[in-house]
Amino acid sequence: MFEGQCWWITGASSGIGASLARALAARGASLVLSGRNVAALEEVAKSCRDALVLPFEATDFDRIPDIVDRAWKWKGRVDALVNNAGISQRSLALETRFPVYRKMIEVDLLAPIALTQALLPRMVEAGGGRIVAISSVAGIVGAPLRSAYSAAKHGLIGYHDSVRAENEHLGIQVHVVAPGPIRTDVSKNALTADGSRRGVSDSTIDNGMPPEDAAKAILAAIEAGRRELVLATGPELEAAALRRRDPEALFDRMSARVREGYAAKMAADTGKR
- Active site residue ranges: 149
CA distance 90 to 145: 5
C-alpha gyration radius of the chain: 19
Length reported for the chain: 273
CB 211 within 8 A of CB 183: yes
Phi-psi region of 78 (alpha: psi -120 to 50; beta: other; left: phi over 0): beta
What is the phi/psi pair of residue 228, to 5°? -140, 135
